[in-house]
Structures are given as structure tokens and as C-alpha cells.
Amino acid sequence: MKKTFKYLRIPLLCLLVALNSCSVGKFIPAGEKVYSGTEIVLQAADDTTDLKEVKEMLNTLLPKKPNSRFLGMRLGLYYHYKAQKKKPGFLTKWFNNNFGEAPVYLSDINSQRIEELMGNRLHNMGFFYSKVVSEIDSTQKFAGLTYTATIPTPYRLEKLELQKDSLPIYRAIEEVMAKTLIKPGKRFDLELMKLERERIDKELKQRGYYNFNEEFLIFEADTNAYDTRKFDLFLRLKKSTPPRSIIPYTIDAITVYPNYTIGDTIAQSETIKINGIDFVQKEEFFKPKQLEPYILLEKGQKYNAKTARLTSNRLSSVGSYKFVNTQFDVRDTTAINDGEGSLQANIYLSPLTKRSLLAELQGVTKSNGFVGPVISLTYNNRNIFGAGETFSISGNFFYEAQISGGNNSGLSNVGGGLKTDFIIPRLVPFSPSRFKYAVPKTKFSLGADIQKRSRLYSLVSFNSSFGYTWNANKFVYHEINPLSANYVNLTNTTDEFEDILDKNPFLRSSFEQQFISGLNYTFTYNELVDAGKSTPIFITTNLDIAGNGLNLFSKGKETIFGLEYAQYAKADLDFRYYWRWRREQTMVARIFAGWGIPYGNSTTLPFVKQFFSGGPSSVRAFNIRSLGPGTFTSEGDASFFDQSGNLRLEGNLEYRFPLWSYLKGAFFADAGNVWLTTDPEIAEEESEAGIAFSEALQTQGKFGKDWLSELGVGVGFGVRVDIQSFVIRLDLASPIRVPYLPQTERWRIPFFESGNDTLILNFAIGYPF
């Protein structure tokens, strides 16, 4: 730490000098005073008044916030003033564009108008006859305001009554008001009354009142019956409420257009009726019998705004339509005098393009030194059998050559894969009736991959899965695969790779698990879909269990169909918190934790199921898969393969900001590692090198009480080209703490230490998290 402080003394001194020079007083124009903020002082006559709530409400009326401060200095204002010079310079412009703030002067504040607004707001909160006065607290260059509000005892509700007659709508309103938040003893609150009107309107629209509007409701307060500060509240319909708005409506006809295009004259060439719903299409695009279950509207059903919205959600989630438009038309205006109206529901469905072909050519650079092209081709056929099914085939081919990496330089990697997906927008073979928000989907997947690594091995894998996906609501997503299988065959191993396996029994054991079959489940909660939320969170968790079912069929044997199968349980959690503020600036905090437990047949997790740390979406100051387990490190060609574990902990912090147009910048800090929670087995026939390797893993890679000191830590900065969510990312990182170095040498000065691993450049597509 003394060494670290030695390096930091000069930068810290420079920082203090720079901060001391950031005085804005000399820039303030003559006759102006910078607004330094407002204080609100409340003087209440009633000690039961919630002053905190009142003050928070009055704070919302302040039209302007003072310029922000950092360590007592107005840096944003300082950068703004500096940028007004004739030749401000590049750095000054950059600081102003990202952190600058226009000055807020006292002359910009209309204190008299704010006094009036505060008085009106206090009146609306039940503090009638309140008094608000303001006072200026000024120095030569800065001035603040103090608003003092004298608050009398508020008026409180004695009773709430609905003024009603024999109209059916009053019975509906009375039932809705049973759950009102306006209770006796509550103070007068105009905002609460507005919310109550909105709630009643929303509930009535779920009871058939299609033409109702909250503006038809009026609250009237009466204080004449009491000498003390009490009042009665009466709710009634306005006399001007039109008759068509106070009757319920029934859906008497439903027509669906499954193949509608904008501007279509809707020539009714054919109409098919199923369960009271008319399906009209010139030529059959979607089978009516298969489309009908997605429609929650029913003939003879009272109008319900929620049901109409959920029907649109379900039809949109089928995957065959780009537009879903539901319209309601009043059918019989003469029925209004009879106390009930009728509606015609028309659902217009505009299809997506049925077939599409997407080709991509990418140049990939990985942080482990591999570079090369990737070619991918994807074919989609939507609504292939006329019931919303989607069939897709995707193939890819890649070639990579390692141009750096010490002893591993010269390695090449060539391979490709083919994957098919068949998605059915319903549960097979179950009923989807309980899924109201969106349509659940059944997914069948089958794929094969081949990879040939020069001088080492060939790896062939086949994978298949059967499962379900669904959105429970706007934020929650589920995916469960009760059946999944993965077969991996390691072939054509060279003598060089066999020597690596002999030295690394842990790696050999992870490759021996050729067959993986089990159940996996994913839960995701994602608030990022709400663009208006300033502090969204993202949570995803995965559960993977393999081998239990096979153990029953194999009758206790370690193989099935002649293949050794894996048994393990694995779970992970990824939590992210986002702070968004003006000018597209975002701070992201992320925590990841994952743990896998081998049991039964397995002494280790299969290689493809192990955790790795380091790389473009992990701890970016370390090469991919180069961290851990624990403080362990190996020499030679084995180093690329053995850096894995069954426990992973990781944390990241990243600040993102705009640079210019589509170019974004970021500063980040990452920390993490992987560990082992089980001891690698040492077989009697293992070589001397293998035994030494296993013992080193046991002592250096095991998770223990000192895990915090074994984290790899790094910092860095990056640039990203972000064009409509397509992101090309370059991150340059450097380690602060290297866990596999001797204890006294682990702390480092980032970007300034000598060595091949001081600077790590990461190239990737998309944000890391």
C-alpha cells in the first residue's frame, strides 16, 4: 500500500490544485446571482400533521434545481463558463458536453408565483387558509431562497356518501367504492379524489361501461354541518353526463381479419364462424380453429377493457403478426333508452413477412488472441402450417487463428454448426387457458456442432431440447426445458493434447462426461423494457439439473446406451442495477454468483458446464478463461484449458456516457474469480505430473475464508459504436490485483506496470451487461 500511495501522491496533489482552481465566481455576470437552492420551513398548528409528506409535496413545485455541486464546487457550471470562450479547447468542450450545466440565476426564479402555487397546493391538501412567504438569503455572487409556510389544522373527513338514484351504474359505482382509499379521518386531499375517479372509471370499464369517462364524476365537500374542521364528501354524476355513457355494453358480434393489410377493402370472400366469432380472409393465412383460442372476447360478454387488452397481447405474442388493432363500434343506438347497448368487436391482424433469410459476415477478435471470420445464415418460415408455428434453420462456419498467446500461438480453430428450432405458440399437450397475459410457446430444438483445433483435438457435439417459454407479465419471463440432451465426443486427440490431459487430470475428467441429459429452468425479471424508469433492475437465474432421470433407467450403472452420463446440479444468479440520468448517462452495477455440484457418476462438472472468469463480458483485465481457480495458475499449453471451476463470483461497475453522435464511452471496474468446492480425485495410476497438478489444484484452487483476497480486479475504459441497439465494443483494461502472483506482488498500478498482461484489449458485439 505504501508503494501504491507513492505513485498516487502526485496525481492527488494535481487533483487538489485543479479542484481549487474551479471557482465560478469570476465568471458570473454583473447584476446576476447564481441560485444556490431553496429551503422550505413549515410551521404547523397541528402536531399530527405529517410534515415530511407536506415538504416532499411542496418540493415538487420548485421549477428549477440549483447547479450541482461536487466537494462544494459547481464543476458543471465551471465547465459551461469555460466553454464559452472563443477557443475553449477539445477537453473543455468534452467536459462541457458531458458534465456542463447552464447557470441558474436568482432572476430565473419567480418567487411570488411559487408562493401562490404552494398556497394552492396546501389548500388542495386540506390546509385551508395557509400562508406562504419567501425570503432571499444573499451573498455577493450567490443567493438562496427560504419559503416559510404557516399551516393550520387540516380539515378531516367525517363521512363519504354516494348520491345515487335507481340507475344501474350507481349500483356498480357503489360496489367499486367498497375498496376506496378515501376513509373517515383522512384529511381533505384533492389529488386522492382524482385518483379515486380514475380508479372508478377503470373498474367500470371492466364492467361493460364502454363510453364512461372519469370526467363525468364530481366530488362535492360540505363543511356546514360542523363547527370543527370536519367535512362531508359527496360523489355524484354530473347532470351533463350523456345517456350513452351510463349504460353497460354487451359484445354482440366479433369479427376477426387474420390476413389484413392496411388499405384493404376487406372483400369478404369467405367467412368461417367458430364459437360465435366470424373469421374473414380472402385466402386462408391462419387456420380459424387454431386462432380462436387466443381470443378472450366472447359473444354475449360484457365489454371489458382489460380483456380486450389481454387479447391484443396474446395475438401479438403469437409471432405471426406485426400489427394487432382491436376496434369496438356501437351497433344499436336505439337500445340506449332500454338501459343497455351493444358492440361490434373488429380485430384486424396484419401479418409479418412469412419467409425471411438473414446472412451475416463478421470479423471476430477475441481476448485470447484468436481472430478470424464468422459466416452465419438463418432462414425463418413463420406460420408454416397455418397455426402460428415458426420453423427456423441457422448455420454458421468459422475459422480462427491465434496470432498471440505465448506457447499457444499458431493454434487454429475451424468449425461450424447447424441448428433447427420449431416453435408452436401454445402448450403441447396442455391447455393455455390460464395464461392470460401472453401466449405460452412450445419449443423443439435440435443442433449439431463440430470444432477442430489444430495440434490438439476434434470435438463433435449434438444437442436437443424440448420445453416451454412464456411471459407472465411485462417484466417476467420463464423458460423451462423438462427434456434436454447433449452428447459430446472428443476425437482425433493428438499426442500433444494427450500430454496436456496427463498433466491435468481435472481437465481429462471433465471431458469424459460424454452425455448430459436433464432439466433446466430460467427466470428473468427485466425492468429495462420500461424506457421511462430511471432505476431499472434486471435479474436472471438459471437452474440446471442433470442425470437424475437417467440414473433410474440405468439401474445404478454409470452408463446408458454405452455412454457415461453426467450428474450434477448447477444454479446461477445475475443481478444488475441501472441508474439513468440526463444526457444518456448510465451507471450499472452487476453481481453474478454461480455454483455447480457434481455427484453420483461425476467428480467434476462437464467441461461445457464449468464456470470461467475473464474476458469481454467478465473481468476484462484478464484474458478469457485465464482466472482461477483461486490463486492457481499453470504453465505451458495446459494454461488455456484448465482455468475453470464449479463456483464463480463476480462484480462489475460501469459508467456509460455519450461522446459524439453514435459513439459512446465507458469507465469500468471488474472483480471476480472461479474456485473449486470439491477436491479433485487423485487416481493411483496417475502420472507424477498429474498427481502434482491435482495437489496444486487442491491447495490453490479451493474456495475458503480468504476468497476475497483471491479476487482478480481490474479497471479500464472503452468506446462503443451504438447504432439503434447494434453495438460494437472496444474495451481496454488493466489489472489492479492479480491473484495468482505471490502474495506481496498482487497489487499493481494499472496501465503502468511492465509485462505482457498489463494491457488487455477486448473486442465484442453488444454491451457486457
- pLDDT score, position 334: 61
Res 288 pLDDT > 80: yes
Greater confidence (239 vs 700) lies with 239
Compute the average pLDDT of residues 299-324: 92
Mean pLDDT across the chain: 84
H or E element at residue 92: helix 90-99
List pLDDT tens digits, range 360-394. Answer: 766 555 444 555 677 889 999 999 999 999 999 99
Q: Measuring CA to CA, which residue among 543, 507, 723 is closest to residue 632?
A: 507
Cell numbers 490431459 label which residue? Answer: 501
> Which is nearest to 200 in space by CA: 184, 224, 219?
219
Across 389-403, average pLDDT: 82
CA gap 745, 630 in Å, rounded = 16
Q: What was the pLDDT predicted at 739?
A: 92
My answer on whether omega of the bond before 184 falls inside 30° of 0, hence cis, is: no
pLDDT tens, 206-265? 999 999 999 999 999 999 888 888 999 999 999 999 989 999 999 999 999 999 887 666
CB 318 within 8 A of CB 324: no
The predicted structure's pLDDT at residue 406: 46
Q: DSSP assignment, residue 108?
A: G
The residue written with cell numbers 490453490 in the block is: 700
Q: Can you say whether the dihedral through the CA atoms of 403, 409, 412, 418 is positive or negative?
A: negative
CA 366 vs CA 266, 400, 466, 638, 650: distances in Å: 54, 9, 32, 19, 20
Structure confidence by residue, pLDDT tens digits, 725-747: 778 888 999 999 999 888 888 88
Does the CA dihedral 581-585-591-594 come out positive or negative? positive
* Domains annotated on the chain, with CATH: 25-66+104-151 (3.10.20.310), 156-245 (3.10.20), 249-351 (3.10.20.310)
Dihedral sign for Cα atoms in the order 21, 27, 33, 34:
negative
SS3 617: coil
pLDDT attached to residue 654: 96
Residue 70 DSSP code: B
Integer Cα distance of 125 and 154 in angstroms = 8
pLDDT of residue 367: 42
Residue 627 pLDDT exceeds 90: no
Q: Provide the pLDDT confidence category of residue 86 given band limits of 50, 70 and 90.
A: confident
More confident residue, 74 or 401: 74
Identity (one letter) of the amino acid at 287?
K
Helix axes 505-512, 688-700, angle to 10 degrees: 90
**For the purposes of burial, counting CB atoms within 10 Å of the CB of 333, is it exposed (0-12), middle (13-18) or buried (19 or more)?**
exposed
Residues 592 and 586: their CA atoms lie apart, in Å, by 19
Average pLDDT over residues 576-604: 90
What is residue 557's predicted lDDT score, i.e. its pLDDT? 57
Q: Distance (Å, rounded) from C-alpha 26 to C-alpha 30? A: 10
Confidence bin at 675 (pLDDT 50/70/90): very high
pLDDT of residue 554: 59
Q: What is the pLDDT at residue 17?
A: 40
